[in-house]
Amino acid sequence: MDIIATILMLCLIMQSIDCLPKPANHPASNSKKPIDAGNYLKKFGYMKPGRTESQAIQAFQNFYGLPVTGKVDDATKKLFETPRCGVKDPQEDGGRKRRSFSLRIVNREKRYVKSSYSWKPLFSRIGEKRLRWKLTSIGTQILGADEIFRILREAFAMWASTVDGLIFEEVGGGDDAELIIFFAANSHGDGYSFDGSGGVLAHAFYPYDVDAPLAGDTHFDDDEVYTDKTYVGVNFWLVALHEIGHALGLGHSKNRDAVMYAYYTGYIPGKSLHEDDVNGIRAIYGDGGDGGDGGGKGGKGGCKGKGKKAC
């Protein structure tokens, strides 16, 4: 057993993240941040022209199934302080703004939310449901490159299993790719700066116009301590699976058990796509595949390239 695995085991016993080894520039993950309600609501799409802060709080509470008080009560404050995805929550009056994280609620009776964007125009152009992806940086993460690549391959394979014919092809650093993935801290060139450990864990961009520069890209906050199959740190598998959902066109779900729920729920052994996630992705790209917990008859989606065996 290597030294990192030994330390992680001790962390599990001690139930303390403070013992987890971190690069010098990494504060402890999952730390609570003081929250300014107005800025928070604006950041995640709730503060709009003509809407008071109380009305924005009510909209937030309504979306997440909290008591609608219009005040930052204990339940609301607790959710505000929970680490989450940086993509804005669905808004009924959201517009089609290029490079924006906002989207419209397309089907209100469903708990999942699909955006107005997908890769279907590209698929029609190339004659197959194929997306290329590449990882360009692993930042200063404790997880090694092999582990990060393995987890990403497994996450792509799980989404591929939900839609018949959906293929994710892993390509090298010099090749073109629709989905570009990297780790970065603070400001990193896309206009959506990360905020240090805790708070926003990662964000991804919807497909939009398939030729938009940031369409489908996923960025992970390098100030987080990402881990695998342990209760300490931030579970990379869960966050990666969630962000890939955005890159495919899914918005946040109201269902707390869904992968596409905005807030980080912690490491859950055996976590897979929820039926809500599967229904959402199939609403965009059609049926097929085994879909994790969502059922199905088994599809022909999968992975190509360097990650083929891992998928």
Domain boundaries, the chain: 3-33+91-305, 34-80
- Give residue 258's pLDDT: 97
Q: Which one, of 30, 29, 34, lies nearest residue 77 by Cα?
A: 34
**131 near 216, Cβ under 8 Å?**
yes
Pick out the chain residues at pLDDT < 70. Answer: 1-33, 91-112, 115, 209-211, 288-311
- Give residue 227's pLDDT: 97
Class of the 3-33+91-305 domain? alpha beta
Looking at residue 187, its amino acid is S
Q: Which one, of 156, 181, 152, lies nearest residue 166 by Cα?
A: 156
CA distance 290 to 167: 14
**251 near 92, Cβ under 8 Å?**
no
- Give residue 174's pLDDT: 80
For 86-144, write each residue's pLDDT tens digit: 999 986 543 333 333 334 333 334 566 776 789 999 999 999 999 999 999 999 999 99
Cα Dmax for the chain: 59
Residue at token pair 């969502």: 294
| Tokens encoding 133 | 């992806």
Helix, strand or coil for residue 132?
A: strand
> DSSP label at 28?
P
| Catalytically annotated residue among 170, 178, 243, 275 | 243
- Give residue 54's pLDDT: 97
Contacts from 286-292 at CB under 8 Å and sequence distance 24+?
Answer: 286/163, 286/164, 287/163, 287/164, 288/162, 288/163, 288/164, 288/165, 289/160, 289/161, 289/162, 289/163, 289/164, 289/166, 290/161, 290/162, 291/161, 291/162, 292/158, 292/161, 292/162
Q: Is 243 designated active site?
A: yes
CA distance 97 to 286: 25
